[in-house]
Structure 1
Amino acid sequence: MIDQVDQRLKAWVGRVVGDMPVSLATPDRSSLEEGVSLYLLELGALPPARTGRRVPLQFSVCYLITVGAQTPERAHHLLGELVFSALEIADFEVELSPVPLELWATLGVPPRPAFRVRVPVRRERAEPNVQRVRFPLVLRSASPEELRGRVVGPGDVPIPGALVELPSLKLGTRTDARGYFHFPLVPPVESLGGLEVRAKGEVLHVGAEALTPNQEPLVIRLPLKEG
């Protein structure tokens, strides 16, 4: 995944400064004489992405970017063009604070104008393979009912994207942005056999005695681990 970010940044540099050498290696005196240095400086944490689907895995990568050219004026011009271009890209976090002198000393090169760009790296996770019954259901000997509910966490904060299943019917759905779910046609509660809720690594089993079809939405409070 990081190698894809490498290629993306190299292509971006090419669009901004044209045909100029681009190095991903540790910057040294020779590599900084002519070309653009994209040095992977560090990895960082990112908060979970907000999405109705299964939360993707993600972190950030931070690159130290500096430019060398035949004249200082040329290097300064190209560096400024890269900064302005990076500021236009939505998922680039540009850091313009001074680079610590200790870093330059570690690299063995004199301090020089540079900036840092932090870019997210994400990996999507496959949705669980949940078998769903296609409606309308064929129900015998009992009138169909509907089941409505809401999944919340600590403080009754809605949990979107939670997987709600009726295992006895092999039926599943997901909560909407406000935490609500809806099964339009189900048999009487006596035959449902309970309900399961899965979200953020937690699984909660709700017995059939707690289900209330055709009445006020059932509130399911999912105990989530702090931190």
Structure 2
Amino acid sequence: MTGAIEAAVEDVASWLTGAAGEPVPVGPPRDDPDGGLTVWPLELRPARQTAAGGAAREPYRFVVRLLVAGGGPAALAALDRVLAAATTAGRPELVLATGDPALWRALGVAPRPALLLDVPARIDRPVPAAPPVRHPLRLRQLGMRTLDGRVVGPQDQPLAAVRVELVGSAQATETDAAGRFRLAGVPHDPDSPDAPVRIRLIGAGRVHTAELDPDGDHLVVVRAPD
């Protein structure tokens, strides 16, 4: 299977062959008295990533920077044709910045006219397969009930202006002057009638969570800790 880097290099080598009018092999620059162009990947550069919504995963995008160099004076005409073709077509993106002597020393060849081509590449990231559904789906309808309660503190003194939240939902209210509260739309699962109702009390800089018996008295008394 051809990878993203190899595919990008092969595509550019094919395009260069057509633009230059002669074969352009993939390889580092060489001192060849017969001339000719070569194309060689120098580095990978980051590209701007795009975000996707839902379960889709966007491909990972990057840029392959390629060095196109000639092997002697006879290669200048081919290099000139490549420069003209890329400038006319607007692709691949040209970068005229290959005069660093350190680059040529690292490659072991004499400095020469050359082009840098920035070619976009991508790696597709498939969406993970969802596990198969092995049993028929069963829909259950939950009943709703209203929970009336009263929040008291030490010596059963009513606590006013306490925020009462139904844990796991957006349902919330506040206690009145008598410490009373009412939460409407509390889910009730007929298959688990004894499952407790969890509420969260917030007030006076404190947070307290309590579990209430859904089948208890009509008025549930919640005692907040000291």
Larger radius of gyration: 2
